[in-house]
């Protein structure tokens, strides 16, 4: 028997609905534990993004039962921020604030999640920038960074609060192969510390180079390969 504290995601017979109530994925049964690494694959429009958004309560669960990071769905409004502090997300479009430095991008997140001590914030930002290998970018603006550096800032932002689960939506999609490989190595390094990782990708090369279980979205279903 697996302790409940080890199970991060548990979907049982879950249906996912779009805002217009259109069924996106049906009968989803999936379990993810602490320290797991999963790839999420499928064609555009197959339901990958819907599955990701459902995990952070951005998409409605129409049927079935779901539990994520210790929270039973559906959540009350006041519970959603608490859930999201346990989950780090690297969005496909990065969503960096273009008018603020790297440091201020990260400080914004810390303040929004309840950090108040400036010294603790500064130390935490320095630590995560060092962890992702770009400590030298702290005072730079996003537009002054390469694509790979911007991606690392987005990853640093996602791990600021030491999430139990890190979700990445096509994190290497806009990068050249060599930079993409560096980003994959970084995710594997983060995973090795015990953080579970769910990564959506279109690139089968990563599955070959970094073997891990694969989830496929196809024909309205989520299937483990």
- Closest by CA position to 40, among listed 211, 205, 198, 149: 198
169: in domain: no
175: in domain: no
Residue 95 sits at φ, ψ, to 5 deg, of: 60, 40
- Could you give the number of structural domains in the chain? 1
- Name the residue range of residue 145's domain: 95-162
Q: What is the pLDDT along the chain (225 residues), one digit of tens a residue?
A: 344 568 999 999 999 988 778 889 999 999 999 999 999 999 988 889 999 999 999 988 888 999 999 999 999 999 999 999 999 999 888 899 999 999 999 999 999 988 999 999 999 999 999 999 999 999 999 999 999 999 999 999 999 999 999 999 999 988 999 999 999 999 999 999 999 999 999 999 999 999 999 999 999 999 997
- 3 φ/ψ sector (left φ>0, alpha ψ -120 to 50, else beta): beta
pTM > 0.75: yes
132: in domain: yes
């Amino acid at each position: 028997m697996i302790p409940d504290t080890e199970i991060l995601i548990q979907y049982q017979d879950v249906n996912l609905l779009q805002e217009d109530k259109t069924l996106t994925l049906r009968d989803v049964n999936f379990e993810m534990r602490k320290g797991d690494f999963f790839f999420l694959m499928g064609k555009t429009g197959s339901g990958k993004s819907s599955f990701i958004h459902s995990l952070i309560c951005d998409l409605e669960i129409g049927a079935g039962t779901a539990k994520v990071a210790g929270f039973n769905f559906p959540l009350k409004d006041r519970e959603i921020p608490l859930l999201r502090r346990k989950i780090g997300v690297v969005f496909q479009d990065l969503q960096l604030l273009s008018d603020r430095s790297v440091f201020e991008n990260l400080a914004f997140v810390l303040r929004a999640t309840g950090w108040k001590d400036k010294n603790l914030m500064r130390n935490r930002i320095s630590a995560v920038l060092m962890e992702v290998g770009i400590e030298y970018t702290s005072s730079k603006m996003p537009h002054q960074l390469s694509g790979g550096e911007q991606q690392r800032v987005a990853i640093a932002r996602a791990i600021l609060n030491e999430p139990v689960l890190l979700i990445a939506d096509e994190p290497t999609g806009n990068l050249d192969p060599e930079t993409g490989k560096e980003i994959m190595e970084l995710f594997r390094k983060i995973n090795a510390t015990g953080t579970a990782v769910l990564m959506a990708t279109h690139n089968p090369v990563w599955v070959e180079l970094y073997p891990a279980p694969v989830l496929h979205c196809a024909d309205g279903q989520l299937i483990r390969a």
